[in-house]
Amino acid sequence: MLFAILAAWFGYKKGRDTGRNPFLWAFIAAGAFIGTQLLCALGIGVFLGLGVELWGWSETLYDTYSPIITIVSVVASFIALLAVFRYLDKIPKQKIFDAPPPPPEFKQPD
């Protein structure tokens, strides 16, 4: 939970510093961290559940490998969070105008 709060805080700061919506990027950073963790654990759980049903694996397999699954999920969350921060580190490009645009031309009816 602490890492999700820190992800939101740093997402807010990076979003604010690059001129983006800081609240949106705080939500995106925290969501990426928590969502990646949930999806990774869910995917591994579904895979192990299919293995139990289809191939006769042990039913205590998830309990046995729970610490490894947690570590894999947290590492995947950090990778996703680093990808979000890497995107936020890129400052949005702004168009540079050399001169003002020419004035409009109005055609007179003949």
- 6 domain residue, yes or no: yes
Inside any domain, residue 97 = no
- The whole-angstrom separation of Cα 57 and Cα 64 is 12
Whole-structure pTM value:
0.77
Q: Is residue 108 part of a domain?
A: no
Q: Considering just the CA atoms, what is the radius of gyration of the chain in Å?
A: 24
Ramachandran angles phi, psi of 59, nearest 5°: -75, -15
Name the 3-class secondary structure at 63: helix
- End-to-end Cα distance, the chain: 74
User: Does a structural domain hold residue 33?
Assistant: yes
pLDDT tens digits, 15-44: 999 889 999 999 999 999 999 999 999 999
For the chain, how many structural domains are there in total?
A: 1
Given pLDDT bands bounded at 50, 70 and 90, which one contains residue 91?
Answer: confident
In a domain, residue 21? The reply is yes
CB 51 within 8 A of CB 64: no
Owning domain of residue 68: 2-89
95 lies in some domain: no
